[in-house]
Amino acid sequence: MILVTGGAGFIGSNFVLDWLAQFAEPVLNLDKLTYAGNLGNLAALKDDARHVFARGDIGDGALLTRLLNEHRPRAIVHFAAESHVDRSIHGPAAFIQTNVVGTFTLLEAARAYWSALPESEQGAFRFLHVSTDEIYGSLGADDPAFSETTPYAPNSPYSASKASSDHLVRAYHHTYGLPTLTTNCSNNYGPRQFPEKLIPLMIVNALAGKPLPVYGDGQNVRDWLYVGDHCAAIRAVLERGVPGEVYNIGGNAEMKNLDVVHALCRVLSTLKPGHDYASQITFVKDRPGHDRRYAINAAKIRRELGWQPAETFESGLTHTVCWYLDNEVWLTNVTSKTYQQWIDLHYAQ
């Protein structure tokens, strides 16, 4: 089996669902179920014995040791993290605790488990660390896209915590020989994304007739990747990636935020017509330290592992909006009291 951390979150749950749809191999899913973790994401697996769920913290070394020795995974795919930049600005401590200390604790448990494996199994073991393009910092309009050799320059508490975790993973490969793989991916979107992130937040607000809050001048650029394509890339890296290597993953879809929001309004107007959603666009105070542009050069993973995205931004966005329109109950459940508290705190100004 494989051990997935953070498998009740957005990308982790899509990964677990895709994995079990394609392979017979079971998944042990360790998740703390923070505000971002949701077992409703995994409802389709409720009668599937191949999905073993354990509620717990990656910072709990004793729990990790017990789970590893009991379930004997051949690989760890590490998604668990605090993932929202705005929350890291309001409260960075949780990001240091989970992303840095949690990843360190997981690496220590993995190292002890891996060291005790028979030599034949040690070579095949993998620790795949899922990271972000934000660790590279911000690009100017004409700068070349981030490659795997771009120097680290994180600018937010979130990206600094992810950069720290990347460095720890690198060090565990170089120092101890742990067979690690690191992926640095651009902005994901798709089904089951918590509506604090740009695309699902805009869908929720558009449908509720609320303002669509665009930060600053709306000209910040992100590269967008459909979550199913990210999951396929992770499977390719897990299967064929070279231990110690880093792989950048991107969607070849650089877009300004304002253009993303307009594209979303157009899709909504087609699928749920009768309303001018774009009229709800409102410019609000900018995010402090807001990175201007991210762009990914994904030539290495394409060349070496044969991966490239299957979805265009247009097709992925349509799937995404359809999913949110079809999953009202999911949406009602996640936009509960604690969600409202976040919206009130963050968008009050």
* Number of residues engaging ligand DAU in binding (CB under 6 A): 19
Catalytic residue among 31, 57, 136, 158: 158
Of 32, 78, 84, 230, the one binding ligand DAU by CB under 6 A: 84
- The DSSP-derived string for 241-283 is PPTT-EEEE--S-EEEHHHHHHHHHHHHHHHS-SS-GGGGEEE
Of 162, 173, 235, 293, the one binding ligand NAD by CB under 6 A: 162
Active site residue 347: no
Q: Report if residue 320 touches ligand NAD, rule: CB under 6 A.
A: no
Long-range contacts of residues 242-245, Cβ cutoff 8 Å, at least 24 apart: 242/181, 242/304, 243/126, 243/173, 243/179, 243/180, 243/181, 244/173, 244/174, 244/179, 244/180, 244/181, 245/148, 245/181, 245/182
Burial of 239 (0-12, 13-18, 19+ CB in 10 A): exposed
* Partner touching 324 among ligand DAU, ligand NAD, none, CB below 5 to 8 Å by kind: none
Of 154, 213, 309, 316, the one binding ligand DAU by CB under 6 A: 213
Structure tokens at 150: 């771009």
Active site residue 86: no
Active site residue 189: no
Q: 3-class DSSP state for residue 23?
A: coil
| Least separation in angstroms between CB 274 and ligand NAD | 31
| Least separation in angstroms between CB 117 and ligand DAU | 31
Q: Report if residue 34 touches ligand NAD, rule: CB under 6 A.
A: yes
Active site residues: 133-134, 158
Binding residues for ligand NAD (CB under 6 A):
5-6, 8-12, 31-34, 36-37, 57-59, 79-83, 98, 102, 130, 132, 162, 185, 187-188, 194
